[in-house]
Amino acid sequence: MLELKGIHWKTPEGDEILKGVDLTVPKGKLTVVTGPNGGGKTSLAKIIAGLYTPDEGTISLNGADITPLDITERAKGGIAYAFQQPVRFKGLTVRDLLNLSAEETLPDNEICRILGEVGLCANEYMNREADSSLSGGESKRIEIATVLARKNAQMLVFDEPEAGIDLWSFSNLINAFERLKNEGGRTLLVISHQERIMEIADCIAVVANGTVTEFGNREDILPALLEREKGCKCPLKTTKREGC
């Protein structure tokens, strides 16, 4: 279980992005964080992964306070993070990145399996450099694959995994999320606007204007969210704020 309590964070320029976030992400479940652009979702993900340090508040993972831990320590502690904007490397191949993620030299069939989950043919990609010769969609799928390869990670955070990938790969990705969910044991936090991802979520949190405005079971939150998209002003129900 991941718990965020009273998280505040300002940019170096002083803009207050997170204004007291309280969120409990239940262990072994898939929680989707959604909400309007600029509401603080990516900042929240980066706070969890240790890329940003909160000005106030605490973060705990399975009961242990991880607030003071840096990026590396959080990764070693079991947090994996797929960037919204993939990072490219001249010289490092897709295979290199997956081996680093897995902390071992993966056999070809395992690389093939992981890349297959994001809709990539391993033979075409595993020895390619993860550089700008890859398209945005290809880079995005490889970024997601680096998290899927993290065998020892217990908390997987994906920041808008659907952005820039084609429908077929997106279907594969949904299957991968469902597989991870059904396997149990791992906690998934997915930042997304996609209805199909929300449809497989256990819990949904809405983050807007730097706070969690709604949180609850998918069955309670999603219908109202969809209605709201159609223009309905109906209020969302907040059910169990703790443990969903």
Partner 1 sequence: MNEITSGLLNVVSDWNGSFKGAYNIREDGGCAGRQSSENIKIEPKQDNPGIVIRISSKAQKETVYIPACVTHAGVNDLVYNDFIVEDGADVIIVAGCGVHSDGEEEARHNGIHRFFIGKNARVLYKEKHIGTGKGKGARRIDPVTDIHMDEASYMEMDTMQISGVTSTNRLTTASLGAGAKLVIRERLLTDGDETAKSDFTVSLDGEDSGVDLVSRSVAKGNSYQEYHSVIKGNCRCTGHSECDAILADNGRVNAAPELFAGNIDASLIHEAAIGKIAGEQIIKLRTLGLTEEEAEQKIIDGFLK
Let me know: does 48 contact 114? Beta carbons within 8 Å.
Answer: no
How many other β-carbons are positioned within 10 Å of the β-carbon of residue 219?
11
How many other β-carbons are positioned within 10 Å of the β-carbon of residue 179?
11
Q: Is 238 in the site for partner 1 (CB under 8 A)?
A: no
From candidates 80, 106, 203, 204, binder to partner 1 by CB under 8 A: 80
- In 3D space, the residue among 115, 157, 158 whose CA is nearest the CA of residue 134 turns out to be 115
φ and ψ at residue 178, rounded to 5 degrees: -65, -40
Q: Is 158 in the site for partner 1 (CB under 8 A)?
A: no
- In 3D space, the residue among 130, 80, 116 whose CA is nearest the CA of residue 101 turns out to be 80
How many other β-carbons are positioned within 10 Å of the β-carbon of residue 75?
18
Q: Is 101 in the site for partner 1 (CB under 8 A)?
A: yes
From candidates 1, 69, 92, 112, binder to partner 1 by CB under 8 A: 92
Which 113-142 positions form the footprint of partner 1 (CB under 8 A)?
Answer: none
Q: Is 69 in the site for partner 1 (CB under 8 A)?
A: no
Q: Is 150 in the site for partner 1 (CB under 8 A)?
A: yes
CB of 240 to partner 1, least distance (A): 30
* Binding segment toward partner 1, per CB under 8 A, in 14-22, 90-98, 118-126, 162-170: 90-98
* Binding segment toward partner 1, per CB under 8 A, in 5-13, 22-30, 100-108, 183-191: 100-108
Q: Is 72 in the site for partner 1 (CB under 8 A)?
A: yes
Q: Is 146 in the site for partner 1 (CB under 8 A)?
A: yes
From candidates 18, 75, 120, 225, binder to partner 1 by CB under 8 A: 75
Strands (E), 99-210: 155-159, 187-191, 203-208
Q: Is 163 in the site for partner 1 (CB under 8 A)?
A: no
CA–CA–CA angle 140, 87, 203 (5° rounding): 50
From candidates 68, 76, 123, 133, binder to partner 1 by CB under 8 A: 76
From candidates 49, 114, 142, 222, binder to partner 1 by CB under 8 A: 49
Helix (H, G, I), strand (E, B) or coil at 169: helix
Q: Is 87 in the site for partner 1 (CB under 8 A)?
A: yes
For 13, 136, 148, 198, 227, the CA distances from 39, given in Å and listed in that order, are: 17, 24, 27, 18, 20
Residues of this chain that interact with partner 1 (CB under 8 A) are 49-51, 70-72, 75-76, 80-81, 83, 87, 89-93, 96-97, 100-101, 103, 146, 150
